[in-house]
Structure 1
Amino acid sequence: MRVLSFSEKGCIRKNNEDSFLVLPDHGIFAVADGMGGHRAGEVASSTALRELEKLAPQLKGLSDQDLEGWLVESFTQANRVVYKSSTTEPQNAGMGTTLTALLIRDTRALIAHAGDSRAYLWRQEELTPLTKDHSLVGELVRLGQISLEEAEKHPQRHVLMRAVGADQEIEVDCQAISLRSKDVFLLCTDGFSNMISDEELADEFSESGSWEERLERLRQLILERGAPDNFTALCCIME
């Protein structure tokens, strides 16, 4: 497996509140997009990923049946730590973070998710979204109250319905996938997915060239489009 990634502050933001985690020895990969003033977003995203990293050594002793439980507990622990910091440290008041994690072991992959950072699977020339945005606009689209086109310009498109550290308790979406040769997983924050449509992403992934070249073209495209937000992408390529 190869892992490629980039994380940039973009053209407007003064600092990067995105974070990403690559732990190939444990099969854990994750992206997080923090929110909150006075750099608290950076604190939230990095804190959440640090909790996953602390718990990662537990994976070596777990059976395949226990992997989902580990993911849920890791998110719960990250939520606990971020929420405590946001409610006890004035400089971190109101902070929170999205968190999307991929766990790979042998022939299985598991995705855990809270917020609007996304996971995609590229398999046999087809792109499949693996997550649903836990956002107000995402919910309105699922309910049929607004279209995808309206969602892109909706004034409340950044309002999250679920995030790590936002409340005392967190609900985590999890799913398991059987791995196949040549599968490619993409984890990305909304600064990436808001600037590149799923159709454009599939078209680029279909292009010739190396995965390094494909990701570099996507990175440059976001910058050319003004990159108003931090943007992060992490690709896990099954060989």
Structure 2
Amino acid sequence: MHIVFRSDVGKRRKNNQDFAGYFVNQQGITLAVLCDGMGGHKAGDVASEMAVSHLGHAWEKTETNTIEAVSQWIQDRIKRENERIVEKSNQFPDLEGMGTTLVAAAFIDNQFVVANIGDSRAYQYMAGRLKQLTEDHSLVNELLKSGEISTEGALNHPQKNVLTRSLGVSKEVNADLMVVSALEGDQLLLCSDGLTNMVEDQEIAEILSDSHMSLEEKVTSLVSLANARGGYDNITVMLTDFTERKEGE
């Protein structure tokens, strides 16, 4: 398994409120986390870095190694981190209202445990097809599901950035969790909306399908394409190439 990620400020923002990282626990299991912060001044930076760093460092100390235990750990730690961000936001006036999206994936044998809050996404590329695994927790997605707006209307909706769920905004938080099977050669993409608002799924699939490109080149191409389209937001891309572990690895 190989992981590559890149975070770029984009063309319009002065600072990068995205944060990402991956961490390995005592059993050799990898947890990847990507967050897109929100809030005035540098509050978004603080929230996203807190979530990634605290989850990651806590994960490194664990010996969790089953799907059930990992899923429970992720749910519990997300709730704990939510409380921590809310507390910090209430403690410091310049951090008031800060929050962050979160998408995370843990890799166990031939399966992924995927968790998300907000509109940062996870995609699985398999057998030549790109599949969005996560569902956006956003006002526009709710309007889309109810039939009040069309897919075309959703693309440039004035309230596109309004989230219905995020980390650190309220005392209660519920993350979506799912377990996904993976085969040799599958790829898992975690990304902030700075990519998906600029680049269509079909274009993402075309880049991931290119067998002549390295993982690093694919990540760079995705970020560059988002910037070429305007780079209106921070862009963070984390790509995992899934290969089964062999004896002795």
* Other-structure match for 2:81: 78
CA displacement at 1:148 relative to structure 2: 1.5
Describe the SS at the equivalent of 2:239. strand
* Other-structure match for 1:18: 18
* Other-structure match for 1:159: 162
Describe the SS at the equivalent of 2:10. coil
CA displacement at 1:29 relative to structure 2: 0.2
CA displacement at 1:61 relative to structure 2: 4.0
2:56 equivalent to 1:53? yes
* Other-structure match for 1:124: 127
Q: 1:50 to 1:215 in 2, by over 3 A?
A: closer
Retained in 2: the 8 A contact 1:59–1:67?
A: no
Residue correspondence of structure 1 range 119-198 to structure 2 within 5 A: 119-198=122-201
Please identify, of 203-212 and 25-34, the stretch whose mean Cα deviation from structure 2 is larger.
203-212
* Other-structure match for 1:222: 226
Q: Distance in 2 between matches of 1:146 and 1:92?
A: 34
Q: Deviations over 1:115-170 (max 9, x none)?
A: 00000000111101000100000111111111121111000000000000010010
* Other-structure match for 2:8: 8
Q: Distance in 1 between matches of 2:15 and 2:58?
A: 28
Q: Deviations over 1:148-195 (max 9, x none)?
A: 211110000000000000100101100001221111000000011111
2:223 equivalent to 1:212? no
* Other-structure match for 1:203: 206
Unaligned runs of 5+ in 2: 244-249
Unaligned runs of 5+ in 1: none
User: Percent identity among equivalent residues?
Assistant: 36
Q: Distance in 2 between matches of 1:61 and 1:213?
A: 33
CA displacement at 1:62 relative to structure 2: 4.8
- Equivalent pairs counted in the alignment come to 239
Q: Distance in 1 between matches of 2:20 and 2:238?
A: 8
**One-letter amino acid matched to 1:232:** T
Describe the SS at the equivalent of 1:69. helix
